[in-house]
Amino acid sequence: MVHGGSDRLLAAFLAGDLDPAVARRWKEHLRECERCRHAVREDRDGRRAARLLRRPAPPGLAARVCFAVEMAAAGRAAAPWQAGAG
């Protein structure tokens, strides 16, 4: 396999978008090419790490954030040190 344009092929391979014959040739190429094999390994490791780091937000987080933003905005509008200043 020639490396010209291999980035597109690599992306399609990783996404599972290659037709079976091309995917088979790509797998054969990976056995021979350390550079492409390394790129596949890095992509898979990155995807695995992203899956491990992805956590659902705790229940009520959105409401607490909204409340904190509203309180901060209200505090700026009528800060205690500004009361009665004029």
pLDDT tens by residue, 9-28: 888 999 999 999 999 998 99
On whether residue 83 sits in a domain, the answer given is no
8 pLDDT higher than 80? yes
E strands in the chain:
none
Higher pLDDT, 56 or 5: 56
Tell me, what amino acid is at 32?
E
Q: Is residue 27 part of a domain?
A: yes
Q: In the chain, how many domains are there?
A: 1
Residue 84 maps to a domain: no
Environment class of 53 (CB within 10 Å of its CB; exposed 0-12, middle 13-18, buried 19+): exposed
Per the domain annotation, does 72 fall within a domain?
yes
Residue 48 covered by a domain: yes
Contact criterion met (CB below 8 Å) for 36 and 10:
yes
- Structural domain containing residue 62: 6-77
Residue-wise pLDDT for 28-79, tens only, equals 999 999 988 999 999 999 999 998 888 888 899 999 999 999 988 887 655 5
